[in-house]
Amino acid sequence: MFGYVRPRGDLLEKEEFAAYRAAYCGLCRALGKQYGFRARFLVNYDMTFLYLLRASAAAPCETALCWCPARVCGRKRCTLDPESFGTVAACTVILSYEKLRDNVRDEGLFKSLPYRCLSVLFRRAYRKASRRLPDFAALCAGQLSALHELEAARSPSIDATADSFARIVSGCAADIQDTGLRRPMEQILYHTGRFLYLADALDDLKQDCDKDTYNPLRYRFQVIDGALSAEDLDYMTQLIDSSVNLAGAALELMPGKAYGKLLENIIYLGFPAVFFAVKAGKFQAKASLWKKKPKSETTGDTK
């Protein structure tokens, strides 16, 4: 369920693109330092968004050239923010581990073996992250249990299932003491989680139909050959537009805008672009953002 929250890299200014990449690499570095080298493989665009959101109200952090295991002969510029990255890295490990465990439950005995092995490899990191964020780990376990009950009942309610996951994502801000900052951030994350769940459900619809596994869209709409009708796709688009608008409205209430333009790009441009690609069956979760050139490199216009 990771990979859907990303900016429109081709519509970012060169400096904004560099700031996003530095934050992404900074999270990768933090994961490695706190949870071991293999935890670097958990870095993703979605949790980079969480860092940008949490760091937006603070003063900009310094960057430095850091060693990159993916570029043995060179280094990459990383944002240095130990405190914020510490929390985001813990959230990343907890969510990734729970995703692995969810895959174990969804797959059969033999097909789940890779996920079982990976969950064993990351169990120690999960326990360490849970000690840092015990309330968030408990929230994840509770909401996932509620979600599994809905799945077992073959619930046709998109709202109920999306709400369970959205509450998990909004919990990534529950540790923030400043209510003026926490409340709008929780709203942004709630609707981000809702977007994530709906985009993932639509993206996996055909596969879930073929495997006869749970997907709320199968029970909410009439699915033909693993696809929704044009009318139902329009309804899904309205749901996404609603989350985009509500997340954007909450962003306006955020104090401080250190990463304001980046966050606006992700919410107002990235969310709709990703969902459009999912609807068209052209979304690739593993597609690299770094292949997209920022505006100043593609057009020469930095205004």
Give dist(CA 249, CA 106) in Å, integer: 36
What is the share, in percent, of the chain residues with pLDDT greater than 70? 97
Calculate the average pLDDT of the chain: 91
For the cut 70, the answer to whether the pLDDT of residue 149 exceeds it is yes
Q: In sequence order, what are the residues at sequence separation of 6 or more whose Cβ sits closer than 8 angstroms to the Cβ of residue 108?
A: none
Residue 79 DSSP class: E
292 vs 220, residue with greater confidence: 220
For the cut 80, the answer to whether the pLDDT of residue 2 exceeds it is no
pLDDT in tens, 24-59: 999 999 999 999 999 999 999 999 999 999 999 887
For the cut 70, the answer to whether the pLDDT of residue 198 exceeds it is yes
Any domain includes 291: no
pLDDT value of position 300: 46
pLDDT in tens, 63-108: 999 988 887 677 889 999 988 999 999 999 999 999 998 888 877 7
pLDDT value of position 127: 97
Q: For residue 117, give its domain range.
A: 9-277
Residue for token digits 């990979």? 3
The CATH code of the domain that includes 53 is 1.10.600.10
Give dist(CA 28, CA 76) in Å, integer: 11
Any domain includes 287: no
Any domain includes 301: no
Q: Cα 55 to chain center, whole Å?
A: 16
Residue 78 DSSP class: E
Any domain includes 98: yes
Any domain includes 296: no
The model's confidence at residue 1, banded by pLDDT at 50, 70 and 90, is low
Give dist(CA 259, CA 261) in Å, integer: 6
80 in the Ramachandran plot: left (φ > 0), alpha (ψ -120 to 50) or beta? Answer: beta
Give the total number of structural domains in the chain: 1
Any domain includes 18: yes
Helix (H, G, I), strand (E, B) or coil at 66: strand
pLDDT value of position 136: 97
For the cut 70, the answer to whether the pLDDT of residue 155 exceeds it is yes
Any domain includes 264: yes
Any domain includes 4: no
The model's confidence at residue 298, banded by pLDDT at 50, 70 and 90, is low
